[in-house]
Amino acid sequence: MTTGTTIDPHLDHLVYAVPDLLAGVAEFAERTGVTPVAGGSHPGGTANHLVGLGPSSYLEIIGPDPAAGPDTRPRAFGLDSLREPRLVAWAVHPGDIDAAVRRARERGHDPGDVRPLSRRTPGGTLLEWRLTRRDDPAAVRPVPFLIDWGRTPHPAASGLPELSLDSFAAAHPDPAGLRRDLAALDVRLDVAEGPEPALRAVLLTPLGPVTLT
């Protein structure tokens, strides 16, 4: 069963931020019946676990790295102040990330500069990619960032446990403005009016539909 909402064909991954990574993964496994696998650690004090959503997309559960030092305060996705799990962001993989950034800027939206990033898998393999990054204090970012995996194999192709993404949508107090930014990126997303920016995904799981917000 599908809800009929639009899911962009270039969806790369959804970002589900949790204040405690191991507790967040355990809660997700209990809700869905599927246990995410460890993805690895990022510079800056975060780590993630992953669940596949298809051959070229996945869900990232990200939180403070349990192996990081006690004084490390990761700032990515608002983790330094996060108190409960939240669907905070999403990414798309355009055919040419540099060209996509140029087109978006010409259309009035700046997705940020393209920067390199990396993480090391539990097995020690270094994965490297490029993505757009911009200063954004919002707790939830309904405009996606862009990502280019280059020669690194896509995480969804690494045999992840899988769930189905039944629907994905956003709410925003200025839906017309959000739609303009999405159009500048050639991105599809169903948008409704709401009191504050929000993302909502419905997963089809062995235990029934599960909604992440």
Residue-level pLDDT at 1: 39
From CA 66, how far away is CA 83, in angstroms rounded? Answer: 16
pLDDT, tens only, 132-182 = 998 777 789 999 999 999 999 999 998 999 999 999 999 999 999 999 999
For domain 11-212, is the CATH number 3.40.50.300? no
**Average pLDDT of the residues in 36-45:** 90
**Tens digits of per-residue pLDDT, 43-93?**
888 999 999 999 999 999 999 998 887 677 777 888 888 999 999 999 999
For 90-109, what is each residue's pLDDT tens digit? Answer: 999 999 999 999 999 999 99
The pLDDT of residue 42 is 87
Q: What pLDDT is attached to residue 39?
A: 94
pTM of the model: 0.94
> If we measure between CA atoms, which residue out of 20, 31, 27, 90 comes closest to residue 60?
90
Query: CA-to-CA distance for 60 and 37, rounded, in angstroms?
Result: 10
**Which pLDDT score is estimated for 6?**
82
Domain boundary assignment for the chain: 11-212
Here the tokens at position 188 are 């599809």
Q: How many CA atoms lie within 13 A of 67 on its CB side?
A: 9
Q: What is the mean pLDDT of the chain?
A: 93
